[in-house]
A and B are shown apart, each in its own frame.
Chain A
């Protein structure tokens, strides 16, 4: 079945460092891809999305490009802030069946130190 694999955390960075969180997926069709962020004690919020190959999603300085050839959707940010400390989830939603069900990676905890 479909699956999502994220790099394991936790990831600890200093403020203004470059961030990459790797995400790869397996899917039989052409999924939509998402990054969600979970701040401490809160629910998940959509960070960015991409619905077809070569699309780039971006928001709040974060970017991810839908790479069909490598089945990847890596999250990047050029300069992280302490306020970016959170858990990041990569997820896919398979188009066939149109149920909107999300398959999540295991999550990557990011801690940014001043």
Chain B
């Protein structure tokens, strides 16, 4: 029972490089999310998706792009990495709130360092 799987778990990038973080869920959830976790700031929403082919901006979307071509996958892209994007990134998925289990399930996180 995999749940939410993130790839990779660790990555070091040089300023200006690009990369894609992959998130896969096997629970048939409609909703998927990307958060970043920074010390003392909790988790902040970057982008989210309420269904295949749809995406929307969250609280801190600048410098990131996302795509959801398949229901089970949600990709987060950094086109030109900056040191301010050093963070731990979490993917999550959930059913809509009116379902019996509306809570979000989280992946293990990706620790990204931009030097």
Contacts and interface: CB of A to CB of B under 8 A. Distances in A.
A102 B96 contact: no
A106 B106 CA distance: 17
Contacts, number: 66
Residue in B42, B96, B102, B106 whose Cβ sees the most chain A Cβ within 10 Å: B42
Residue in B33, B41, B56, B106 whose Cβ sees the most chain A Cβ within 10 Å: B106
B97 A104 contact: no
A43 B102 contact: no
Interface string A46-83: 10010100000000000000000000000000000000
Contact of A102 (B50, B104, B107): B104
B48 A101 contact: yes
Interface residues of A, number: 24
A43 B108 contact: yes
Contacts of A49: 103
Interface string A91-105: 001010011111111
B37 to A, nearest CB: 8
A102 B43 contact: yes
Contacts of A103: 45
- Majority SS at the chain A contact face: strand
B90 A34 contact: no
A105 B43 CA distance: 8
Nearest to B56: A99
B97 A100 contact: yes
Contact of A43 (B40, B42, B90, B98): B90
B107 A106 contact: no
8 contacts: A45-B106, A51-B102, A95-B97, A100-B48, A100-B97, A100-B104, A102-B45, A106-B40
Interface of B: 4, 31, 33, 35, 40-45, 48, 50, 56, 58, 90, 92, 94-98, 102-109
Interface of A: 4, 32, 34, 36, 42-46, 49, 51, 89, 93, 95, 98-107
